[in-house]
A and B are shown apart, each in its own frame.
Chain A
Amino acid sequence: MNEAKRHLVTAALIAGLLIAWEVTGQMKLVAGGTLPAISAILSRLVAEFPEYLPHLAETLKTASTGFVIGNVIAVAAACLFCLFPLTERLFRGINITVFTVPPIALAPVLVIAMDGNAARITLAALLVYFPTMTAALTGLQTADPRAIDLVHAYGGGRFKALWLVRIRTALPAVLSGFQIAAPAAVLGAILAEFGSGARWGLGSFLLGSLGRAEPDRLWGIGLTATAISALGYVAAALAAKWVTGENRALGLTVSQVRSEPERGRLHKAVMVVAALVFPFVIWQVLIWMSGLSPIIAKTPYGVFEYLFLGRGAESAQTRLLVALGETVPVTLLGMLVGLLFAFLLSLISFLSPTIMRAILPFALFTQTMPLVALTPLAVLIFGRGLTVTLVITTSVTFFAAFVVLAQGFAMIPKSAFDLVDAYGASVLQKLRLIAIPACGKWIFVAGRLALPKALLGVMIAEWLATGKGLGNLLNQSRGYLDYGMIWTVALVSILLSVALYQLAELAEKLVTGGRSKK
C-alpha cells in the first residue's frame, strides 16, 4: 500500500468510529443516553463556553506554571545525576516515590500543608518531574561516547562535555519527555482542584456539575480538559520532530571496553539505606520548614504515633487493613487486565499496521484525557461496581504497557521472520515461535510501569465511584478532618505503590537474569 492510500484508510476508519459514536448517541443505545451524540456534546459546549472560560483559564495557569517549574527542576536534576552518578543513587528513593505516588493520595496532604494555589501548582509540577527527568537523564547518558572522549582528549572536563555534547544530544529526549509531561501537568492541576475546594478550575467546575444528571455537560468538560492536554502533547511532539532530524547518530557505533567502578558490599548497603531514609528526611525537613501545627501536618513520627500509639490506633489499623484488603487485589487484577489489553493491542498493531494507524489517535487521546474528568462518565455508563474500576484502571494502564510491548515486537529482527518465512510459517506460527517469546522480557517491563498507574486508577475509582478501599478511606477522612488518617493513607498508598513496583522489578530481574544465563 502506498502512503496516500494508507492515510485514506486511516481517515476512513476514524470517520467510521466517529459516525458510530454519533449514531449510538442519537439512538440512546448506551445506558439510557449516558453516551450523548457528539453533535449534542459540542453544541452544548459552544453554547456554554463563556461559563467555561474562567475555569479553563485557571486550570491552564496552574498546569502551565507547574509544567515550567517541574521541567526546570527535572532537567536540573537530570544534569546533576549525570554529572555525579552518586547523587542519582542517593535520590533513587525520591525518584521512585515521585514516580509511583498516586497523586490522588498526595493532593489532600498538599492541600493541608500548603496554600491552595501553591498546592495545585506543586501537584502539577510533581507529576511533570518524573517523565522529563528520566527522559532527560537517558538522553544525557546516551550521548556518543566518542564525542565525549574527544572533549576529554582536549582537556575538557565533565561540565564541558555536558555543555558541548550531552545537553544538545538530550534535546529530543527531553522534548519527548515534555510530551508525556504536558498531559500530566493538566491531570495534576485538575486532581488538585478536585481535592482543594477551589472556586475556579475545570476540576472544580466538574465537581460542581457532578450532582446534575447532565451527561452532555460532563462530556463537554471532559473533552475540554482533554483538548488542552492534547494540545500540549502535540506541541511537544512537533518540537521533538523538528529537532530530531538533525540528531540522528552518524557512522558506526564502536563498542568500547570500560571498567566498571568497583564497589564493596558496604558501599552498596549504605546507598540502599540512604535511598530509603532520604525521602523521610526530606518529609521531616519540609514539615519543620512549613511551621504548621503538628495536629494538621504530620511528621513521619506523627504518623507512626497515630497508627500505633495513639488512642484510636486499633480502630485506625482495622480500617486501614480492611481498605488495603479491598484495594490490593483489585489493583493486581486491574494491572493484569490492562496488560492483557495492551498485549492484544500490540498484537493487532503487529499483525495489521493499518488498523493500528486508525486506533493510535484514539489510544493517544485516552492518554491525554485527564482521568478524573472522565470518571463520572464511566460511572454513568458502567455503574459503581468492579466493572467501572477495571475500565478506569485499564484506561490508565494500557497505553504505557502498549508502547513497551509494541517496542518489543518492533525490536524483533526482521531476519528472524524472514528465516521462518523461508520455511513457509503461518502468521500464528510466527507469533508462537518468535513474537511471543521475544516479548517475554517486555511484558515484565510493561507490568512494572503499569502497577503504580493501576493503583492510581483503582484509588480514583474508589474515591469517585465505588466507595471502597484506600481511595474511599482518604475521601472519608477528609470529611471527618481526620488528619492522622489522611497522612497515613497517603503514606501507606505510596509505600504500597513503591513495594509493588519493587516486586515487579525483582520479578523482571529474575526472569531476564535467568534468560541471559542460558
Chain B
Amino acid sequence: MQGLPLSFNDVSKAFTIKGEALRVIDGMTLECPAGSFTAILGPSGCGKSTLLRLALALEEDDGGSVKVGGDDPVLARRSGAVGVAFQDAALLPWRTVQDNVRLPFEVLGRTPDRKQIGDLIDLVGLKGFEKAKPGELSGGMRQRVAIARSLVTDPRVLLMDEPFGALDLILRRQMNLELQRIWSAKRPTTLLITHGVDEAVYLADRVVVLSPRPARVLADIDIPFERPRGPELLRDPAFHELCDEIGAHLDSGRGDA
C-alpha cells in the first residue's frame, strides 16, 4: 500500500494554562510527500509532540490546517490509515503481547489479521513471547511490542514520538536498523520525532530542526545517503559531518532563545 502525503499549512497552537496562553506552535508549514521519511529535531518542550498530536487529531489547531492524504486527520485516523507509537509503550498491562498488538483492529472494528499480527511479532524479534504479559517483558521488548502495534494495520502514515527514547544505546541502534528495514518494505509516510541527531540522520530522508517554543522551522536538511543504510554508515566521516552541521543548527536555536 502506498503512503499518503502529510501536510501542515501555517499551523498555530496555543495552550491555556492557569488562564495564560502559551504559544507552542506559531505559523508552521511543513510538507511530507507520500512515502517520505521525515525526522523532527528540537529542544525539549518546543512543540514537537504537539505537532504529532495535531496530525493525530488528539489536539485541535488554533489556525491553519493539518491534512493527512488531503483529508481531515479525524477522517484519516478513522479509516485506519494512521499508525502511531509513543515514547511510552502504552501497553495495556492486562493484555498479552498479541492482544496488545491486536488492539488497533478492535478500535477500528475490523477483523484482526492473525497472520499479520504473528508476522509483526516475529519481525520485531518477539517470537515465542506472544502470550507474555507486558509485566514480564523488559523495557526494550515492550517498546518493540508498541512498534509492532503501530504497524499492524499496514498504515499509510506512521507517526512516531520518540519511540526509542527510553531505550539504551545498543538496543536503540538495533531498533533503528529494524525500523529502516520495515519502512523500506512498506514505505509509509513517516514522521519521527526524536532527540537523537544520529538517529534522525541515520533513518530519515530529511531532517527538520525546530526552534525553542514557539516552534518554527530553523533548518530543513536533505539526507543524501543511499539506502539500505548499514551500521557502517555510523562510522562514515560524512555521516558525522552532517550530524555536526545539524547539531550546530540546534545550538543556534538555543542562542536565539
Residues of A within 8 A of B (CB): 144, 146-147, 149-156, 160, 164-165, 168, 246-254, 256-260, 262
Report whether B135 and A250 are in contact in the complex, using a CB–CB cutoff of 8 Å. yes
Report whether B108 and A154 are in contact in the complex, using a CB–CB cutoff of 8 Å. yes
A152 and B15 in contact (CB under 8 A), knowing A247-B94, A250-B142, A251-B166?
Answer: no
| Nearest CB in chain B to that of A154: its residue | B107
| Nearest CB in chain B to that of A156: its residue | B107
Residue B91 lies at the interface, judged by CB distance under 8 Å to chain A: yes
Contact of B93 among A150, A156, A248, A260 (CB under 8 A): A248
Report whether B77 and A154 are in contact in the complex, using a CB–CB cutoff of 8 Å. yes
Report whether B93 and A250 are in contact in the complex, using a CB–CB cutoff of 8 Å. yes
| Nearest CB in chain B to that of A256: its residue | B49
Residue B32 lies at the interface, judged by CB distance under 8 Å to chain A: no
Within 8 A of A (CB), among B93-111: 93-94, 103-104, 106-108
Report whether A168 and B80 are in contact in the complex, using a CB–CB cutoff of 8 Å. no
Provide the residues of chain A in CB contact with B135, threshold 8 Å. 246, 248, 250
User: How many cross-chain pairs have Cβ atoms below 8 Å apart between A and B?
Assistant: 98
Report whether A153 and B56 are in contact in the complex, using a CB–CB cutoff of 8 Å. yes
A153 and B58 in contact (CB under 8 A), knowing A251-B166, A259-B16?
Answer: yes
B interface, how many residues as a size bin?
Answer: 35 or more
Provide the residues of chain B in CB contact with A246, threshold 8 Å. 93-94, 133, 135
Find the residue from A146, A147, A155, A256 having the highest chain B CB count within 10 A: A155
Report whether A168 and B92 are in contact in the complex, using a CB–CB cutoff of 8 Å. yes
Min CB distance A155 to B, Å, is 4
Closest 8 pairs between A and B when the two form their complex, measured CB to CB: A146-B90, A155-B78, A156-B107, A154-B107, A153-B84, A155-B77, A154-B104, A153-B56
Find the residue from A249, A250, A254 having the highest chain B CB count within 10 A: A250
| Nearest CB in chain B to that of A145: its residue | B90
Provide 12 A-B residue pairs closer than 8 Å at the C-beta atoms, listed in order of the A residue: A144-B90, A147-B90, A151-B107, A154-B107, A249-B93, A251-B90, A251-B139, A252-B88, A254-B88, A257-B22, A260-B17, A262-B16
Residue B35 lies at the interface, judged by CB distance under 8 Å to chain A: no
Provide the residues of chain B in CB contact with A160, threshold 8 Å. 107
Provide the residues of chain B in CB contact with A149, threshold 8 Å. 53, 56, 58, 86, 90
Provide the residues of chain A in CB contact with B82, threshold 8 Å. 153-154
Provide the residues of chain A in CB contact with B74, threshold 8 Å. 155
Report whether B142 and A254 are in contact in the complex, using a CB–CB cutoff of 8 Å. no
| Nearest CB in chain A to that of B76: its residue | A155
Provide the residues of chain B in CB contact with A155, threshold 8 Å. 74, 77-80, 107-108
Contact of B15 among A164, A249, A259 (CB under 8 A): A259
Report whether B88 and A253 are in contact in the complex, using a CB–CB cutoff of 8 Å. yes
Report whether B16 and A164 are in contact in the complex, using a CB–CB cutoff of 8 Å. no
Provide the residues of chain B in CB contact with A262, threshold 8 Å. 16
Report whether A164 and B133 are in contact in the complex, using a CB–CB cutoff of 8 Å. no
CA distance A251 to B86 in the complex (A): 12
Within 8 A of A (CB), among B37-68: 49-50, 53, 56-59
Residue B134 lies at the interface, judged by CB distance under 8 Å to chain A: yes
Residue B87 lies at the interface, judged by CB distance under 8 Å to chain A: yes
Chain B at the A interface: mostly helix, strand, loop or mixed?
mixed
CA distance A150 to B90 in the complex (A): 8
New contact pairs (10) apart from A168-B92, A250-B89, A254-B87, CB-CB < 8 Å:
A151-B103, A153-B159, A154-B77, A154-B153, A247-B94, A251-B166, A257-B15, A257-B24, A258-B15, A262-B16
CA distance A251 to B166 in the complex (A): 9
| Nearest CB in chain B to that of A149: its residue | B58
CA distance A262 to B58 in the complex (A): 18
Provide the residues of chain A in CB contact with B94, threshold 8 Å. 168, 246-247
| Nearest CB in chain A to that of B162: its residue | A254
Report whether B17 and A154 are in contact in the complex, using a CB–CB cutoff of 8 Å. no
Min CB distance A153 to B, Å, is 4
CA distance A105 to B135 in the complex (A): 49
| Nearest CB in chain A to that of B104: its residue | A154
Provide the residues of chain B in CB contact with A151, threshold 8 Å. 103, 107
A150 and B89 in contact (CB under 8 A), knowing A155-B107, A246-B94, A251-B166?
Answer: no
Min CB distance A278 to B, Å, is 28
CA distance A246 to B132 in the complex (A): 12
Provide the residues of chain A in CB contact with B86, threshold 8 Å. 146, 149-150, 254
A251 and B89 in contact (CB under 8 A), knowing A154-B80, A155-B78?
Answer: yes
Min CB distance B147 to A, Å, is 13
Report whether B133 and A150 are in contact in the complex, using a CB–CB cutoff of 8 Å. no
Report whether B166 and A247 are in contact in the complex, using a CB–CB cutoff of 8 Å. no
Provide the residues of chain A in CB contact with B24, threshold 8 Å. 257
CA distance A503 to B106 in the complex (A): 48
Provide the residues of chain A in CB contact with B16, threshold 8 Å. 259-260, 262
Min CB distance B164 to A, Å, is 13
CA distance A165 to B106 in the complex (A): 12
Min CB distance B117 to A, Å, is 15
Min CB distance A203 to B, Å, is 41
Min CB distance A255 to B, Å, is 11
Provide the residues of chain A in CB contact with B93, threshold 8 Å. 246-250
Report whether B87 and A250 are in contact in the complex, using a CB–CB cutoff of 8 Å. no
Find the residue from A144, A149, A165, A251 having the highest chain B CB count within 10 A: A251
